[in-house]
Amino acid sequence: MLSAATAHSSGAATNVMLMSALEVTPAWYLVLGSLLFGIGAVGLLVRRNPLVMFMCVELMLNAVTLTFVTFSRMLNDVGGQAIVVFVLVVAAAEVVVGLGIIVAFLRKRPEATADDMAVLEG
Amino acid sequence: MVDLVWLIPAFPLAGFLILLVGGRRLGEPRAGWLATACCAGAFGAAVTVWLGLLGEPEHERHFTQVLFEWVPSGSLSIDAGFLADPLSITMALFVTGVGALIHMYAIGYMHGDPNFSKFFVYLNLFVFSMLMLVLGSNLLVTFLGWEGVGACSYWLISFWFTDEANASAGKKAFVTNRIGDWGFMCAMFVAFGAIGSIDYAVLNSGALSPVTATAVGLLLFVGACGKSAQLPLFVWLPDAMAGPTPVSALIHAATMVTSGVYLMTRVNPILAEGYGWAPDLIAWVGVITALVAATIAMAQHDIKKVLAYSTISQLGYMFLAVGTGAYVAAIFHMVTHAFFKALLFLGAGSAIHGMHDQQDMRRMGGLRKVMPITAATFMVGWLAIAGVPPFSGFWSKDEILLGAYDVHPAMWAIGLFTALLTAFYMSRQVFLVFFGAPRWNDEVAEAADGDAADVPAETHETLHPHESPWLMTAPLVVLAVLAFAGGAINLPVVSDLLFLEHWLEPVVGDHQVHVETGTKIMLAVIASACSLAGIAIAASVYLWRKVRPVEPKVLEHAWYYDEAITAFVGGPGEAGFEGVAAFDRIVVDGAVNGVGVGVRDSGTLLRRLQPGFVRFYALGITAGVVVVLGYFFTRTL
């Protein structure tokens, strides 16, 4: 987004070339989004602390939000940005309910992990 | 007057209901007189309807009265209705007439019994059921009566049920009859399936195809075999002698056992429409039964068992007549048989009563000196059943033999030989009971075959047999007159005297016997000669004691028929039943239970997908996402 033209002196040509080689295209954002999503997914699978698992879920949600906005800019469609609003609302509601359950559980057993919350087994 | 036909069964029904509620209060003997009056009232109503029918011209003697629609079920509509025609009124007349006489006799016979009124409750219910049977306008009303008489027979045979043998005899009668009833029910189903109706008017109008007609006819014959004690279902009748003698006289001689013959006569158009081998089969079963039963009767020691086998034998004659198409002869013999068999049974009951409940003939003897009326009337019945002219039995039996001669001389020969045996065993009975030296106070004689078990354990100090009271001897006298003169309803001498044949013609058609008059007379002479020969042989053995008696064990045990049935049912039969029960338990129940087990096991398997671990669920979600994404990416490649 930054324009390649700068008003620098003598070393300006090299700087311009460097800058143009490292142009930040929308693809960068997609990569960032997928990286964040991957980190969140792996964290959800690996970590046992319920609060950390929750944070990973939030991370995944935000990654998805970023991806939506990127595509909205790339395809020039404002729908993607509208969905972001919905996702944020859903995330907020989910946090309220989920944290409430987890806090209630952890109050009873402070050292509980996700594996201990197997009450709803079949 | 014919529309009073509903009154005929109404009388005994009223008697039944009144005695059911207040019989015990009425007590002896008023309960008995009420029952007799109801039966006599039914007889009066039957006479009225008969006179009404006589008033109609010959082809309109046919009146159906519908009380109400009994089964209104879609395409099936069965009425509770009565059919008054010559056949049903003939049956109603002798059922109620002989029944009233037996009711009166029973008042004397059951004197002192603690269940006096209960006896007459059952007797009236029986007469009601029998009348429903003969007056019904369709197979279902007849079946109602059929089952009713079966139930009453069960109750009455087991009347003294505190003795287990009597209770078992009642059960045996009921179960054997049930086998026959299965045949009757299947016949109703086939008839309904074929033409959609079980009304006699429809069945007898030629609506059935030959195959269906044969099927219905033979299935009804199965029912008749059960009720009328023919081979192979005759085993219940000798055991039924465990009931009081009036029961044996009414039910197992004069009325219930003739229902089978009535049924076959009622559906005679169906038999005519079917294949020819079906009536032949009926005739053969009848004549073979007659012969076998006669052979068994020759070696019995119980006075009532002789008469029981004699009844089976005479019923065989009636079925022989039905099978050869001589329906008039069958009904004629039914009527005369009712007279003389009821007479013989009541006479035997009188003898038993006088001998203080002793039934073994080997302990009787010389009774005619102490019981003259019983002896005289019994001998009238004896001569009638032996077929000695001019007693009634001669005329009816001769007509049956004539019909048999016309169709199959072999049947005639067997029938003739059976007549000889009949004369023999009945004469044997008369000579053992009423003639000779009195044996009633002898020591318990060790009989030649060692069957001391037949003799009851209690021995009186000295027995003084006496004549029975007038209540019992009066019916004997009336029946004796009927047994002597009963032949008059159908004398074959001149066509005008064939009252019964002309009377029944609208129902059974005109059956022509193609035998010349000369041959007929010769056949009659041969039959009479056989009867007299039978009497003479019996006299030489049992009266003048010139020849030693021959009473083989195999005959005494009825050709071991009962033992054979027990061996079969207890042996291979039981294995079969066990097999069927095991099949039901293992296969049928196993299949049903297996469904439940299968569902439970598959549920257990599926449960492993939900362990409760949140991270397992997360892994599942991740794996699913990977798969879906992979599908989408590779799809576009």
pLDDT above 50 for B454:
no
Residues of B whose CB is below 8 A from A45: 615, 618-619, 622
Task: Give the other-Cβ count within 10 Å of A21's Cβ.
Answer: 7
pLDDT of residue A24: 87
Give me B379's structure tokens.
């001998």
Distance of alpha carbon B230 from alpha carbon B288, whole angstroms: 9
Percent of chain A's residues with pLDDT above 90: 54
Residues of A whose CB is below 8 A from B618: 44-45, 53
Band of pLDDT at residue B449, cut at 50, 70 and 90: very low
DSSP string, B502-534: HHHHHHH--PPP---HHHHHHHHHHHHHHHHHH
User: For A121, which of B612, B618, B619 is closest by C-beta distance?
Assistant: B612
Crossing angle (nearest 10°) for helices B614-635 and A26-46: 150
- Sign of the alpha-carbon dihedral angle for A16, A20, A25, A29: negative
DSSP symbol at B468: P
pLDDT above 80 for A5:
no
DSSP symbol at B199: B
The one-letter code for the residue type at B499 is F
Distance from CA of B622 to the nearest CA of A (A): 8
pLDDT above 90 for B382:
yes
Distance of alpha carbon B387 from alpha carbon B395, whole angstroms: 8
Write the burial class of residue B622 (CB in 10 Å: 0-12 exposed, 13-18 middle, 19+ buried). Answer: middle
Residue whose C-alpha is closest to residue B137's, from B56, B94, B196, B80: B80
Distance of alpha carbon B129 from alpha carbon B255, whole angstroms: 11
pLDDT of residue B313: 93
Distance of alpha carbon B406 from alpha carbon B388, whole angstroms: 22
Band of pLDDT at residue B145, cut at 50, 70 and 90: very high
The per-residue b/e assignment along B97-132, b for 16 or more CB within 10 angstroms, e otherwise, is bbbbbbbbbbbbbbeeeeebbbbbbbbbbbbbbbbb
Distance of alpha carbon B109 from alpha carbon B131, whole angstroms: 24
Contact with chain B for residue A64, Cβ under 8 A: no
Three-state DSSP at B620 gives helix
The answer to whether the CB atoms of B609 and A117 lie below 8 A apart is no
Question: Which residue in the block uniquely carries the two structure tokens 């219940």?
Answer: B236
User: For B622, which of A45, A53, A119 is closest by C-beta distance?
Assistant: A45
Residues of A whose CB is below 8 A from B614: 53, 114-115, 117-118
Partner residues linked to B73 by β-bridges: B76
pLDDT of residue B549: 82
The answer to whether the CB atoms of A115 and B619 lie below 8 A apart is no
Residue whose C-alpha is closest to residue B305's, from B439, B161, B451, B487: B451
Interface test with A, best of B606, B608, B613, B615 (most A CBs within 10 A): B615
pLDDT of residue B609: 83
User: For A41, which of B606, B614, B622 is closest by C-beta distance?
Assistant: B622
Asked which of A22-31, B236-245, B250-259, B619-628 is least confident by mean pLDDT, the reply is: B250-259
ipTM of the predicted structure? 0.72
Task: Give the other-Cβ count within 10 Å of B452's Cβ.
Answer: 11
Measured in whole angstroms, the distance separating CA B488 from the mean position of its chain's CA atoms is 26
Question: Which residue in the block uniquely carries the two structure tokens 């007889």?
Answer: B43
Distance from CA of B614 to the nearest CA of A (A): 6
Give me B484's structure tokens.
């002597």
Give me B253's structure tokens.
């001689």
DSSP string, B304-361: HHHHHHHHHHHHHHHHHHHHTT-HHHHHHHHHHHHHHHHHHHHHHHHHHHHTTS--BG
Question: Which residue in the block uniquely carries the two structure tokens 């045949």?
Answer: B183
Q: Residues of B near A (CB-CB distance < 8 A)? A: 606-607, 609-615, 618-619, 622
Write the burial class of residue A27 (CB in 10 Å: 0-12 exposed, 13-18 middle, 19+ buried). Answer: exposed
pLDDT of residue A3: 45
The one-letter code for the residue type at B161 is F
Mean of the pLDDT values across residues A38-47?
92
- Sign of the alpha-carbon dihedral angle for B20, B23, B28, B34: negative
Distance from CA of A100 to the nearest CA of B (A): 17
Distance of alpha carbon B201 from alpha carbon B78, whole angstroms: 12
Distance of alpha carbon B4 from alpha carbon B7, whole angstroms: 5
Mean of the pLDDT values across residues B297-304?
91
Q: Which of residues 28-47 of A touch B (CB under 8 A)?
A: 41, 44-45
User: For A121, which of B611, B615, B622 is closest by C-beta distance?
Assistant: B611
Residues of A whose CB is below 8 A from B615: 44-45, 48, 53, 114-115
Band of pLDDT at residue A6, cut at 50, 70 and 90: very low
The answer to whether the CB atoms of B611 and A119 lie below 8 A apart is no
Distance of alpha carbon B378 from alpha carbon B392, whole angstroms: 14
Residues of A whose CB is below 8 A from B617: none
pLDDT above 90 for B417:
yes
Task: Compare A52 and A16 and report the one with higher pLDDT.
Answer: A52
Residues of A whose CB is below 8 A from B613: 114-115, 118
Distance of alpha carbon B305 from alpha carbon B312, whole angstroms: 11
DSSP string, B519-573: HHHHHHHHHHHHHHHHHHHHIIIIIS--S-----HHHHTGGGHHHHHHHHIIIII
Give me B635's structure tokens.
């799809």
Distance of alpha carbon B385 from alpha carbon B581, whole angstroms: 49
Give me B565's structure tokens.
């049935």
Write the burial class of residue B489 (CB in 10 Å: 0-12 exposed, 13-18 middle, 19+ buried). Answer: buried
Task: Compare A9 and B286 and report the one with higher pLDDT.
Answer: B286
Pairing, β B63-73 against β B76-84: antiparallel
User: For A45, which of B607, B611, B615 is closest by C-beta distance?
Assistant: B615
pLDDT of residue A20: 57
Residue whose C-alpha is closest to residue B268's, from B258, B278, B255: B278
The answer to whether the CB atoms of A117 and B612 lie below 8 A apart is yes
DSSP string, B116-155: HHHHHHHHHHHHHHHHHHHHBSBHHHHHHHHHHHHHHHHH
Asked which of A52-61, B58-67, B214-223, B314-323 is least confident by mean pLDDT, the reply is: B58-67
Residues of A whose CB is below 8 A from B603: none
pLDDT of residue B253: 79
Crossing angle (nearest 10°) for helices B7-26 and B30-55: 170
Band of pLDDT at residue B631, cut at 50, 70 and 90: very high
Residues of A whose CB is below 8 A from B606: 122
The answer to whether the CB atoms of A48 and B615 lie below 8 A apart is yes
The answer to whether the CB atoms of A119 and B612 lie below 8 A apart is yes
Mean of the pLDDT values across residues A14-31?
75
Task: Give the other-Cβ count within 10 Å of A92's Cβ.
Answer: 9
pLDDT above 60 for B520:
yes
DSSP symbol at B492: S
The answer to whether the CB atoms of B615 and A41 lie below 8 A apart is no
The answer to whether the CB atoms of A53 and B611 lie below 8 A apart is no
pLDDT above 50 for B122:
yes
Distance from CA of A77 to the nearest CA of B (A): 23
pLDDT above 90 for A83:
yes
Mean of the pLDDT values across residues B173-190?
93
Residue whose C-alpha is closest to residue B134's, from B122, B151, B146: B146
Distance of alpha carbon B50 from alpha carbon B29, whole angstroms: 31
Helical H segments across B6-72, by residue range: 7-26, 30-55
Distance from CA of B633 to the nearest CA of A (A): 15
Contact, B257 vs B286, CB < 8 A? no
pLDDT of residue B502: 83
Question: What DSSP element (H or E) covers B416?
Answer: helix B409-434
- What digits encode the pLDDT tens for the residues B194-229? 988 888 888 888 788 889 999 999 999 999 998 888
User: For B612, which of A45, A53, A120 is closest by C-beta distance?
Assistant: A120
Three-state DSSP at B63 gives strand
Distance of alpha carbon B502 from alpha carbon B490, whole angstroms: 9
Residue whose C-alpha is closest to residue B319's, from B309, B331, B307, B308: B331
Residues of B whose CB is below 8 A from A121: 610-612
Contact with chain B for residue A111, Cβ under 8 A: no
Distance from CA of B593 to the nearest CA of A (A): 24
Sketch out chain A's domains with CATH numbers.
Answer: 22-112 (1.10.287.3510)
